[in-house]
């Protein structure tokens, strides 16, 4: 099987969220970056499992500048065979999708994986756009995926509903929790990753369509109003009369 | 002109669909597109949310979501009414369909929108609810998917006209087979749509103690949820897990019981309007993100809160 996994670079979950340049840019100062968890823990690891049981190859692709090399090496250390980096700093998900589509077109990939969404822009857009650009089926929110000949059996987790899908390859799948368990690269993987190929492709074409104008921090909480455990009924009164939410 | 997608479930409009309809109608003149089986009455009633006309593709195959077929229907309807803006919910359907529609219409996509703070600005939550991004709303074609529970649909008066609409579907528009559907919510409100959510964590000490959470949820008409450790050790099903790797919710009221408030958990709930934290540990980090807090034993406090809610509702 020929598998392509789209990975995004995001700030670590615990990183401070702050902005610079008049709140137009994320402040990367001192921030640890990671592979987007949905891309790594679920999409990439499941792709690696499929390769291990069925044979084939796993290519990871990232749209970003040279400093993304660090997360690409991590994906290679986890077991991806090779990597592609499209050299641009994308301003929206459309640019990411259109760049990856140009690479994937005619590439003969059986499954193109993305994560459910990234934990920075929380859009969940790239997979669906790729599917449309490549005219492939798109199965979003996959929590389980098994290969059955030329088809895939996928369980989608949606709002209170689990939906079972049968889809032919090639197709695009967005992965979420349940697909696989997170892995930690071992020493052999880390050493091997240093010699695995990373192809760098210049970006071409498409301007952003929905770039960020400015970031805004949410209003500070007024502080937590404490209620005595001796009188928890007061909470109900406050929720009713003050917060007016019940 | 704008076009809004009306999603149906068992012949009724989904709550998220009504939110999208009301949001769209407030933005400007809007035609609705309903896909699947519904009575004329149900669709005419959309007039109460500010819609003049509903296009209806009464095709039972569309009772389930096929992203390509939905995309074709939406693009055709947009062309038919001359819409340059398509609005739909950022629920699972929106996630499957909106990116395809945007590419097909060569439109800009604004996904997971919370509000419109200005005429030409779209605001959405980013960094898992820790900040917002304001995006420049393009003047050309655009697709907007609205976060569930971001806009309250309030019914006024009015009746919409319903026009039958058809699209020539090919077999290739149904490019996967839906082989089974399991209802995990058990007829309850799906978690992302719930206005009130009562959630439990490891502080409840075991799945056998969930009765006090469920009793409070029942009294409030709320959905139940849980923290990640509780789902991982199997006390509660995975579809109840809210947090970074689970579901992101945006209820009016979130009550967290025995949850310490790890940053990954907050990422799933920090857009809640009001947060109540009940925890034995006064140092629990969740109190910093809460509006109301009780330091105390959930097993003593929660049943008393449940009783007080029941009394409140009985008196109201």
A150 interfaces chain B, CB cutoff of 8 Å: no
Boundaries of domain holding A170: 2-215
Residue B200 in tokens: 């439990």
Categorize the per-residue pLDDT at A228 as very low, low, confident or very high, splitting at 50, 70 and 90. Answer: very high
Summarize the confidence of residues A65-72 as an average pLDDT.
97
With CB atoms and an 8 Å threshold, state whether A138 touches B67: yes
Of B92, B135, B181, the CB nearest to A210: B135
* Residue A56 pLDDT: 98
Within its chain, how far is the Cα of B253 from the centroid? 14
CB of B195 within 8 A of CB of B251?
yes
With CB atoms and an 8 Å threshold, state whether B191 touches A13: no
* Residue A144 pLDDT: 98
Q: Is residue A165 part of a domain?
A: yes
A113 interfaces chain B, CB cutoff of 8 Å: no
Question: Tens digits of per-residue pLDDT, B251-301?
Answer: 999 999 999 999 999 999 999 999 999 999 999 999 999 999 999 999 999
With CB atoms and an 8 Å threshold, state whether A17 touches B130: yes
* Residue B315 pLDDT: 83
More confident residue, B119 or A111: A111
Residue B189 in tokens: 């409100």
Q: Which residue of A has its CA nearest to B192?
A: A159
pLDDT higher than 70, residue A215: yes
* Residue A72 pLDDT: 98
Q: Give the CA-trace dihedral at B91, B95, B96, B102, to 10 degrees.
A: 130
Share of chain B above pLDDT 90, in %: 94
* Residue B31 pLDDT: 98
Q: What is the DSSP string of A196-240?
A: S-EEEEE--S---SS-EEEEEPPPPP--PEEE-TT-THHHHHHHH
CA–CA separation, A8 and A61 (whole Å): 9
* Residue A206 pLDDT: 86
CA–CA separation, A194 and A88 (whole Å): 23
Q: What is the DSSP letter of B277?
A: E
A30 interfaces chain B, CB cutoff of 8 Å: no
Q: How far off is chain B from A48, nearest CA to CA, in Å? A: 20
* Residue B316 pLDDT: 59
Summarize the confidence of residues A44-49 as an average pLDDT.
98
CATH 3.40.50.1220 fits B191-315, yes or no: yes
Interface confidence, given as ipTM, is: 0.96
Q: Is residue A194 part of a domain?
A: yes
Question: Tens digits of per-residue pLDDT, B41-89?
Answer: 999 999 999 999 999 999 999 999 999 999 999 999 999 999 999 999 9
pLDDT higher than 80, residue A121: yes
With CB atoms and an 8 Å threshold, state whether B108 touches A129: no
With CB atoms and an 8 Å threshold, state whether B111 touches A160: no
Residue A40 maps to which CATH number?
3.40.50.620
Domain map (residue ranges) of chain B? 2-173, 191-315
Q: Is residue A34 part of a domain?
A: yes
Categorize the per-residue pLDDT at B184 as very low, low, confident or very high, splitting at 50, 70 and 90. Answer: confident
Q: How far is CA B24 from CA A238, B5, B102, in A?
A: 34, 10, 17
* Residue B186 pLDDT: 79
A114 interfaces chain B, CB cutoff of 8 Å: no
Q: How far off is chain A from B161, nearest CA to CA, in Å? A: 30
Share of chain A above pLDDT 90, in %: 96
Q: Where are the alpha helices (DSSP H) in B175-269?
A: 211-220, 228-232, 263-269
* Residue B189 pLDDT: 85
Question: Tens digits of per-residue pLDDT, B16-46?
Answer: 999 999 999 999 999 999 999 999 999 999 9
Q: Which residue of A has its CA nearest to B308?
A: A233
With CB atoms and an 8 Å threshold, state whether A214 touches B134: yes
Where do the DSSP E strands lie in B184-241? 196-200, 223-226
Q: Which residue of A has its CA nearest to B108?
A: A209
B2-173 matches B191-315 in fold: yes
CA–CA separation, B256 and B200 (whole Å): 6
Give the number of other Cβ atoms within 10 Å of residue B84's Cβ. 15
CB of B19 within 8 A of CB of B38?
no
Picking from B217, B183, B184, the residue whose alpha carbon sits closest to that of residue B200 is B217
* Residue B118 pLDDT: 85
Picking from A72, A71, A76, the residue whose alpha carbon sits closest to that of residue A58 is A76
Q: Where are the alpha helices (DSSP H) in chain B?
A: 15-27, 40-44, 67-81, 92-105, 211-220, 228-232, 263-269, 298-315
pLDDT higher than 90, residue A191: yes
Q: How far off is chain B from A27, nearest CA to CA, in Å? A: 12
pLDDT higher than 90, residue A96: yes
pLDDT higher than 80, residue B104: yes
pLDDT higher than 70, residue A207: yes
With CB atoms and an 8 Å threshold, state whether A236 touches B123: no
Contacts of A180 in chain B (CB under 8 A): none
With CB atoms and an 8 Å threshold, state whether A235 touches B294: yes
With CB atoms and an 8 Å threshold, state whether A215 touches B131: yes
A129 interfaces chain B, CB cutoff of 8 Å: yes
Contacts of A207 in chain B (CB under 8 A): none
Summarize the confidence of residues B186-209 as an average pLDDT.
93
Residue B291 in tokens: 């509006």
Number of structural domains found in chain A:
1
A32 interfaces chain B, CB cutoff of 8 Å: no
Q: How far off is chain B from A101, nearest CA to CA, in Å? A: 12
Cβ under 8 Å to B: A residues 86-105? 93-94, 97
Average pLDDT over chain B, rounded to an integer: 96
pLDDT higher than 90, residue B185: no
CATH class, domain B2-173, is: alpha beta
* Letter string b/e over residues B274-308, b meaning 16 or more CB atoms within 10 A of that residue's CB: bbbbbbeeeebbbbebbbbbbbbebeebbebbbbb
pLDDT higher than 70, residue B226: yes
Inter-axis angle of helices B211-220 and B298-315, to 10 degrees? 20
């Amino acid at each position: 099987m020929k598998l392509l996994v789209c990975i995004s670079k995001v700030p670590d979950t615990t990183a401070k969220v702050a902005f610079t340049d008049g709140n137009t840019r994320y402040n990367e100062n001192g921030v640890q970056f990671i592979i987007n968890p949905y891309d790594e823990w679920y999409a990439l690891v499941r792709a690696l499992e499929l390769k291990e049981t069925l044979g084939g190859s796993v290519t990871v692709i990232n749209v970003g500048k040279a400093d993304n090399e660090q997360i690409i090496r991590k994906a290679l250390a986890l077991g991806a065979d090779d990597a592609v980096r499209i050299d641009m700093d994308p301003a929206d998900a459309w640019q990411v999708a259109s760049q990856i589509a140009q690479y994937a077109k005619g590439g003969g990939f059986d499954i193109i994986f993305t994560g459910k969404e990234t934990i920075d822009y929380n859009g969940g857009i790239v997979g669906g756009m790729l599917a449309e650009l490549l005219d492939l089926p798109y199965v979003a929110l996959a929590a389980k995926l098994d290969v059955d000949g030329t088809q895939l059996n996928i369980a989608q987790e949606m709002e209170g509903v689990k939906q079972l899908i049968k889809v032919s390859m090639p197709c695009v799948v967005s992965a979420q929790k349940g697909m696989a368990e997170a892995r930690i690269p071992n020493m052999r993987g880390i050493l091997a990753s240093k010699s695995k190929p990373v192809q760098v492709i210049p970006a071409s074409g498409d301007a952003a369509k929905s770039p960020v104008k400015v970031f805004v921090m949410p209003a500070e909480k007024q502080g937590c109003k404490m209620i005595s455990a001796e009188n928890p009924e007061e909470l109900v009164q406050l929720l009713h009369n003050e917060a007016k939410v019940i | 002109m704008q076009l809004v997608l009306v999603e149906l479930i068992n012949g009724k409009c989904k709550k998220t669909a009504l939110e999208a309809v009301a949001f769209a109608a407030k933005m400007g003149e809007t035609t609705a597109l309903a896909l699947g089986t519904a009575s004329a009455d149900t669709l005419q009633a959309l007039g109460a949310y500010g819609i003049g006309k509903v296009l209806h593709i009464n095709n039972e195959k569309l009772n389930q979501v096929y992203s390509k077929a939905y995309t074709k229907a939406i693009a055709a309807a947009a062309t038919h009414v001359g819409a340059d803006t398509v609005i739909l919910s950022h629920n699972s359907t929106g996630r499957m369909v909106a990116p395809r529609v945007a590419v097909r219409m060569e439109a800009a996509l604004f996904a997971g929108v919370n509000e419109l703070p200005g005429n030409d600005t779209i605001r959405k939550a980013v960094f898992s609810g820790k900040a917002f991004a304001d995006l420049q709303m393009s003047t050309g074609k655009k697709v907007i998917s609205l976060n569930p529970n971001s806009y309250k649909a309030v019914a006024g008066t009015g009746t919409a006209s319903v026009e039958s609409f058809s699209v020539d579907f090919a077999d290739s528009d149904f490019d996967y087979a839906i082989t089974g559907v399991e209802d995990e919510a058990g007829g309850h409100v799906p978690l992302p749509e719930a206005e009130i959510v009562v959630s439990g964590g490891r502080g409840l000490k075991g799945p056998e103690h969930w009765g006090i959470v469920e009793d409070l949820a029942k009294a409030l008409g709320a959905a139940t949820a849980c923290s990640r450790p509780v789902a991982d050790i199997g006390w509660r099903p995975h579809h109840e897990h809210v947090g970074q790797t689970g579901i992101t919710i945006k209820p009016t009221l979130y009550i967290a019981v025995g949850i310490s408030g790890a940053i990954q958990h907050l990422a799933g709930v920090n857009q809640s309007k009001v947060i109540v934290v009940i925890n034995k540990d006064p140092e629990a980090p969740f109190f910093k993100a809460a509006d109301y807090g009780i330091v105390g034993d959930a097993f003593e406090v929660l049943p008393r809160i449940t009783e007080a809610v029941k009394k409140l509702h009985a008196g109201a």
